[in-house]
Amino acid sequence: MSAYKMVSSHGHRSRQNGEYEVDFDTNITDLYKCITDEKWDAALEALERSPREAKIWVVRHHDGSDEVMWRFLPLHSACARKPPTSIVSALINIHPEAARCADDQGMYPLHYACGNQASKDVIRLLLVANPQAAKASDPRGMLPIHHLACWGPSSTSVIGMVLVANREVADATDADGKTALDLVREADYTGKKEVIAALERWLKPHPHTKRAPSPDPSIFRYLTVNTKREPSASKSLTSPLRSPTFTGSDAKSVSDESYTKEADALTIARLRKELSNLRTDHRSREQEWEEKMDNINTKLRSKCLEMETNVNDTTKALKEAIDRVQSLEVISEEKDIDLKVKEESLLEKDNRMKELSRQINRNQREYTDTFSDFESERNDLRLNLTEVSEHCEIFKSKADNMSDRLGSLFVSLSCMMEQQSALVKLIEERELREAERREMRRNRAREMLEVEEQNEDALKIGNHREITSVFNKQAKEMDAIAAVIAASRT
């Protein structure tokens, strides 16, 4: 939308003359929604689906009150948005009265089209549908030509189209006393000079104005002779009938003067006769015309009576048809509401069915996945059971082997225990012997002490080696036993 905006109102209007209106914020029509979004193809489709939406007023109220903010027909709103010719033509064809309907501010669609640089074809359609809108003013006293001058036309030819519809608006003033030429001089847009030139051309006097035909000179001369005029005027009018003047005696001038009077008298008599003939002819023609007019008036009266009768009958039939249409529209609206409710319920049921089908498919997929998981687990369990049975057989054989080994180990351990006990006794005996020997050595002489100590050291080294070898052998056997026990546990 251009800089020109729709004017909002501050008054409330109820539905009148069978007009239907909807609220912009609660139940806007599809046609009006497409127009406000400037989706022209969708608007044409909506108009084909529901042509009666072209007749529905759209109202918007102030927040929290019933006070009207604005009230438009679809044609008003479309003309404020540089519409294509197709949508305007369709709206006018379906509802021609829309071009003659003013909104809550008294503005016609032509005002909005001129204020928003609508195309030349759109302006032509609106002027053909309502030429009187060219001289209708808005609350600011602005005519469509003022809106064109203020915001600029789509082409300069639009100026001529509006002024052809009503030439008198060329120099009309708005509420501020400004003409269209004043507004265009104050405006700022491209093509301003061409608009000024077009307006100036229309403000100049028209060169082809026809003048009234001049009267017949003979009648004019007759009238001047029979009226009291100044001498100069009478002389000027009768001078063409006079003979030329000669320079001579007075007798000759008198004869010339008498000749002129006779000629004037003859001319006057001829003119009087012609005038009487004209009057007679005029009276007869007037009588003929009066008789013709009486006959025509009589016929027209009879036709008017017939037309009044037809109009009354037609009005009654139209009222009945309007009542029927209104009742049908109410019924259709109720059915539309019921249909919408049913459609909404069907949509809800359809959505529920879709949700249930999705849930069933989801559960089926989950069941399939779970069943496949169970199958795989069962197969895995079968394989594990087979492996466990094999391992059990292996463990049985190992257990049998281990029992045999444990028996042999028990025998070897018992032998080792006996050997260890024997070794312990041997060590005790040796310790007793060594104690006895130490006692004997104490009693020996000091000279034999060194030899005795050497022999004792040698004996200790030999015994120590023997005992270490025995303990190492036992440790190896114990490690082997521990390894066998650990293997049996695994």
Helix axes 144-151, 157-165, angle to 10 degrees: 170
Least confident of 158-162, 361-365, 456-460: 456-460
Name the average pLDDT for the chain: 78
Q: What is the pLDDT of residues 206-251, one digit of tens each?
A: 444 443 333 333 333 333 333 333 333 333 323 333 333 333 344 3
Give the C-alpha separation, 165 to 128, whole Å. Answer: 9
**What is the average per-residue pLDDT within 439-450?**
70
If residue 21 lies in a helix (H) or strand (E), which one and from where to where? strand 21-23
Does the model's pTM come out above 0.75? no
Check residue 203 and report its DSSP letter. Answer: H
At residue 238, the 3 state secondary structure works out as: helix
Strands 57-61 and 68-72: antiparallel
Could you identify the residue written with the tokens 């949509």? 347
Least confident of 186-200, 217-231, 343-357, 430-444: 217-231
| Alpha-carbon distance values, 71 to 23, 99, 103 (Å) | 9, 15, 6
| Largest pairwise CA distance in the chain | 234
Contact status, residue 105 vs residue 139, Cβ threshold 8 Å: yes
Residue 342 has pLDDT above 90, yes or no: no
- The share of the chain scoring above pLDDT 70, in percent, equals 78
